[in-house]
Structure 1
């Protein structure tokens, strides 16, 4: 349908009616002086006098002027063609994945279905690839952490790019230790820049916090205040001792404070089961966006006015030329 952007511009249509209330325009011109003026008066049998003459347009000219004014006013009102509603669906959830790249991820204690062994990071990449395929409606982000936390991928709908950047991660690229709390803090900062109200952070780690600026539990309390739910997946053997020991108490506490859950993944199947459970707890969400395309049509009245103007003058020129040829032939 057609809609006027500035409908009040149509009030200008009455302007020519108001112009009629004004006095006619007057213009003085010098008369032609000839030495045989009296002779011309006698031959024309007219008496010379002073006066004024108001030029009048013929009907075609009046019609052309009125149509031109109508076209210009319509153009000023800016008509628009509004198309039928178009609905689009976009992601209703922002899902941030935080992956531990500390040196302990080199342990090859995960077995694939074919019997081959891979390190923990390779197993994580395989499961995350399946996760990306299952969460087609979510915007995914990626954080890697070790001695420091880094944003590898901001939230994006392009899962192919996200997967490529995940594949490029390597063990130790973020440092040898594990700043679990700083990774949560970096995720919170990304969520505060997001418009989504559904915020989920999935963290994969095989160690314990080793010197974060903000302790993991305190960071989890801040995350809870921003409605960020944290799901933690502890990778590897929980009986490990030393610097690589899993701090399951902290991992569970972080999830509890934010309304999430914690999981233990001793092998790839348990890791996959953890993601499937998270998928059930966080079902896919969609947000529908409806809009109607608009196309400006203001140029059509202007083009019509120009066509009428050119058509009139071309027609008049042809008529005048034909009349002259007829007069010359006579």
Structure 2
């Protein structure tokens, strides 16, 4: 498709006509030499002496070339351009933080696979998370791990393959043996401070009670609700255990309720897969589409044509003058 970036420039196209009719002609006085044998000189060069001013005139060809050059210059100033096919880009309209508990209790092999084989809790969570991350193509995601302390394992990225790489490097106990659930939520809120989108989702998975946070889960969830962060909580531990090994289901349910999210419990790999599928269905991929058409400037073509015409006409004029004087 062909268009002009500055079509208003065509308004100056009749400008030379206005100048020709309304602007007085240029007059210039020059010095002359009086000689007594002027008529003999004029006769020798074949000129006919006349009184008054001398007016320079153009041939029809010269006038035509001047008009064409002016039109080409106006075309160039209007910035002609060729528009390419529309290119559509998609940008994530929601950021997702995954907060994963890797305390010592995640090393227990009480999860069951589809065929009934025992499996480590963290490995089961990793396998399900990989599938969940793959389905979030287009979303920006970050990964937080927490034990005794909470850490950002991967900041916000659209490169979900690299996020899976960071997930693979996660091991039980690398953040300490205890559970800092409140600190993990607080760190997730801080991570969202660099987010430029309004929709913010945090998914928190834990298998124990909060035992080492400097910020309580209740306070952290209240701040999250104030910041517009929706939290989905998943409990994967044993609610009948004692001490730090007992998952605090009430706390996880309260966190989700305070932020407008939802609470889930999973005691095997199949149930955990269903949980993430449910979260995915409730929070489908959200993107903002932007389209643009690449523009290729064509202004150099009329400029080149005008330059060639000027050079050719100037060369032709000089050749004609030489032949005339020869």
Deviations 1:200-239 (A, max 9, x none): 2111112222343432122212222333221111122222
Change (3 A) 1:68 1:178: farther
Distance in 2 (alpha carbons) for counterparts of 1:230 and 1:44: 101
Distance in 1 (alpha carbons) for counterparts of 2:313 and 2:157: 59
Tell me, yes or no, if the aligned pair for 2:111 and 2:119 is still in contact at 8 Å: yes
- RMSD, aligned α-carbons: 3.2
Distance in 1 (alpha carbons) for counterparts of 2:317 and 2:54: 24
Distance in 2 (alpha carbons) for counterparts of 1:130 and 1:258: 25
What residue number does 1:244 align with?
Answer: 245
2:105 match: secondary structure: helix
Distance in 2 (alpha carbons) for counterparts of 1:67 and 1:61: 10
Structure 2: gaps (5+ residues): none
Q: In the comparison of the two structures, how many residue pairs are matched?
A: 325
Tell me, yes or no, if the aligned pair for 1:24 and 1:54 is still in contact at 8 Å: no
> How far does residue 45 in structure 1 lie from its aligned partner after superposition?
9.5
Matched, 1:149 2:159: no
> How far does residue 98 in structure 1 lie from its aligned partner after superposition?
0.9
Distance in 2 (alpha carbons) for counterparts of 1:78 and 1:317: 33
Change (3 A) 1:294 1:44: closer
Change (3 A) 1:54 1:42: closer
Change (3 A) 1:307 1:236: same
Structure 1: gaps (5+ residues): none
Tell me, yes or no, if the aligned pair for 2:235 and 2:265 is still in contact at 8 Å: yes
> How far does residue 32 in structure 1 lie from its aligned partner after superposition?
6.1
* TM-score (norm. length: structure 2): 0.84
Deviations 1:266-320 (A, max 9, x none): 2222211211222232233444433333333332322222232334345556767
Change (3 A) 1:151 1:61: farther
Change (3 A) 1:32 1:254: same
Change (3 A) 1:302 1:129: same
Distance in 2 (alpha carbons) for counterparts of 1:294 and 1:45: 59
* TM-score (norm. length: structure 1): 0.83
What residue number does 1:294 align with?
Answer: 295
What residue number does 1:270 align with?
Answer: 271
